Structure 1
Amino acid sequence: MHAGEHDQIPEIALAWHQEGRGAALATVVETWGSAPRQAGSQLAISRDGQIMGSVSGGCVEGAVVTEAIDAMEDGTPRLLSFGVSDETAFAVGLACGGTIRILVEPIGEGGQRLPDATLSRIVEARAKRRAIAYAVNPELCSRNLLEPSDDPVVDARFRSDKSGMEEDGRFISIHNPPLRLIVVGAVHIAQPLLTIARACGYDPALIDPRAAFGSAERFPGETIVEDWPDEALSALRPDARTAIVTLTHDSKLDDPAIRIALTSPCFYLGCLGSTRTHAKRVARLTEAGFAEEQIARIHAPVGLDIGAKTPAEIAVSIMAQITERLRKG
């Protein structure tokens, strides 16, 4: 599997269907105990048995593929259950104590299939970095798509990034845009910060107009933008799934980025610097016309107060604060 393909399961399933290869989507809708994959995990299956993704880390994939191929033939979804009391689960090595339910939906038109038009809308929203949720009642095979603010219950799932079953029998599959971290300042702290962010599932970008700082040698494999920070941020268009951190200690570089960030819907803005440095920053922003509530969005000094000293420890504290903001609001 190429890098990133595990996050492209709806796209792969749609492509297989459009190529005439037949396709089905298997989705973990419920788990108990030590199930190896969380709700929302998906597996794409083609008619010839090719698979991409995972619903159990390899434990029950074989049985799911067999059911998916049958579902493509008769157009009827399957709601499968596997657990330690199930002989099939024992045979394929399901983790001790784990139980999972998996919804298998053949893609296409007619009958109870998952309409390719619905899947196309999901793929289109994902391509445009627009949050969308797929709601399906596995028992009734009723389906609809929801966006943020359509449903308070679903909104809570958007915020927590968590797919799952609701009491009304619906399974809500959350498709949030990928998380992004934009770092202004190719300083030492940025090196471990980008690495940690990527490990946490973020797509990082580094902004620094100083070529000697933001070099590929210092940041191998990273996206580096050498434009002035306000121009670079405007082009990157931070959204509600974006965190921004400024690290340069130079107001000529940090301030233009902060001004753009404060007018964006980014969910986190953190700025390196002491309490005294931040007080001067607040004064400059106030003079520039920013309101007190806007300036209050800034986390400064950046990071959780865990006594961090080294660049790597400071990066950990920053990533911890970003996570806290994302998950707790």
Structure 2
Amino acid sequence: MPHQSDILDLMNDYKARGEAFALATVVRTVSVTAAKAGAKAVILADGTITDGWIGGGCARGAVLKAAREALSDGQSRLVSIQPEDQLSEHQVKPGELREGVLYASNHCPSQGTMDVFVEPVLPRPSLLICGASPVAVALADLARRMGFFITVCAPAADHESFGETDRLIDGYELPAGAGERDYVVIATQGRGDSAALKAAVRVPAKYLAFVGSRKKAAALKADLEQSGTPSAQIAAIHAPAGLDIGAITPDEIAFSIVAEMIEIRRRGQRTL
């Protein structure tokens, strides 16, 4: 079995690269099982176990399925793998979820029971903020407290306006590698609006918003259309940025934008 430190080092590597994975930990065993309590494994989104050990084929299928689902919806799972007779005794069926426990059948001759906690470890959502306006500064502060990885794209002379951020870039060009998992907000507010928006619209972001009036946004969209930007990309721009809560101050506008990003991020994750 790999050392605990090896698993932790691997987890830190994946976190540093922003790669999602699930950590499976055996929390209880009864009778004969290949893996014992405390055994761990790191599982990627495609079901690959990159390191660790959670037992053989008796447990592997159910745990890998739970890991894929956990990475899809962001929710942890407790999987209880039991022999058929014990499932019948508890009046549960394989695949049934009851009181937070997902049950699976153990068809191996050992007929042991194993409970495995599967926890998704997802990268922090990335927010790219273009500009150093009061809204940009307030947004960087609030979004970071909400768990976003903050990148500020603004002239170097304006960087001192910000508090704690994760990355600072000189100018309005988005960093290489920005893509469909990123949230992008143009908060230049009169300083480089067009240049920032033209750079941002080329990125297939999860969310692209422009801070400004409807009139200004319409003018900039018309300019994008004349420059040949596809209509689908223009239509994807949230303008004005944020939920319509009647926000006026920079802090209120930043709050409305963060609320809109959270709504998009969590969409479909909650069930009634």
TM norm. shorter chain > 0.5: yes
Deviation at 1:105, TM superposition (A): 2.0
Alignment correspondent of 1:142 = 60
Deviation at 1:159, TM superposition (A): 5.5
Deviation at 1:177, TM superposition (A): 2.8
1:192 to 111, 135, 138: 138
Alignment correspondent of 1:221 = 164
When residues 42 and 257 of structure 1 are mapped into structure 2, their CA distance, relative to the original with a 3 A threshold, is farther
Q: Distance in 2 between matches of 1:320 and 1:191?
A: 16
1:163 to 66, 70, 76: 76
Deviation at 1:263, TM superposition (A): 3.0
Alignment correspondent of 2:35 = 76
Alignment correspondent of 1:205 = 151
- Structure 1: segments with no counterpart, 5+ residues: 1-10, 18-39, 45-63, 69-73, 79-103, 107-113, 123-130
Alignment correspondent of 1:296 = 235
Helix, strand or coil at the partner of 2:129: strand
Q: Distance in 1 between matches of 2:159 and 2:205?
A: 23
Is 1:287 matched up with 2:221? no
Deviation at 1:42, TM superposition (A): 8.1
Which amino acid in structure 1 is aligned with residue 241 of structure 2?
V
Report the identity percentage: 28
Is 1:315 matched up with 2:260? no
Deviation at 1:15, TM superposition (A): 4.7
Q: Distance in 2 between matches of 1:259 and 1:195?
A: 25
CA deviations on 1:140-184 (whole Å, 9 max, x unpaired) are 3215998xxxx9x957x5554333368375776434332111111
Helix, strand or coil at the partner of 1:76: coil
When residues 301 and 172 of structure 1 are mapped into structure 2, their CA distance, relative to the original with a 3 A threshold, is same
Alignment correspondent of 1:98 = none
Which amino acid in structure 1 is aligned with residue 35 of structure 2?
T
Alignment correspondent of 1:51 = none
Looking at both structures, which has the greater relative contact order when contacts are Cα pairs under 8 Å and sequence separation is at least 6? 2
Helix, strand or coil at the partner of 1:141: helix
The Cα RMSD (Å) is: 4.0
Q: Distance in 1 between matches of 2:231 and 2:9?
A: 52
Alignment correspondent of 2:187 = 247
User: Do 1:228 and 1:253's aligned partners in 2 also have CA atoms closer than 8 Å?
Assistant: no
Alignment correspondent of 2:39 = 105
May I ask how many residue pairs the two structures share in their alignment?
214
Which amino acid in structure 1 is aligned with residue 184 of structure 2?
I
User: Do 2:144 and 2:165's aligned partners in 1 also have CA atoms closer than 8 Å?
Assistant: no
Which amino acid in structure 2 is aligned with residue 321 of structure 1?
E
CA deviations on 1:90-147 (whole Å, 9 max, x unpaired) are xxxxxxxxxxxxxx424xxxxxxx4xxxx3x75xxxxxxxx6667989993215998x
Helix, strand or coil at the partner of 1:189: helix
When residues 292 and 163 of structure 1 are mapped into structure 2, their CA distance, relative to the original with a 3 A threshold, is farther
Q: Distance in 2 between matches of 1:289 and 1:137?
A: 56
Q: Distance in 2 between matches of 1:280 and 1:222?
A: 31
Deviation at 1:316, TM superposition (A): 0.6
1:325 to 264, 268, 271: 264
Q: Distance in 1 between matches of 2:224 and 2:209?
A: 15
Deviation at 1:228, TM superposition (A): 2.4
User: Do 1:186 and 1:208's aligned partners in 2 also have CA atoms closer than 8 Å?
Assistant: yes
Alignment correspondent of 2:88 = none
TM-score of the superposition, structure 2-length normalised? 0.63
Alignment correspondent of 2:7 = 14
CA deviations on 1:54-88 (whole Å, 9 max, x unpaired) are xxxxxxxxxx7xx79xxxxx96233xxxxxxxxxx
Deviation at 1:285, TM superposition (A): 0.9
Q: Please list, as runs of the form range in 1=range in 2, the aligned pairs for 1:20-31 lying within 5 A after superposition.
A: none
More moved, 296-305 vs 175-184:
175-184
Q: Distance in 2 between matches of 1:189 and 1:277?
A: 16
Which amino acid in structure 1 is aligned with residue 159 of structure 2?
G
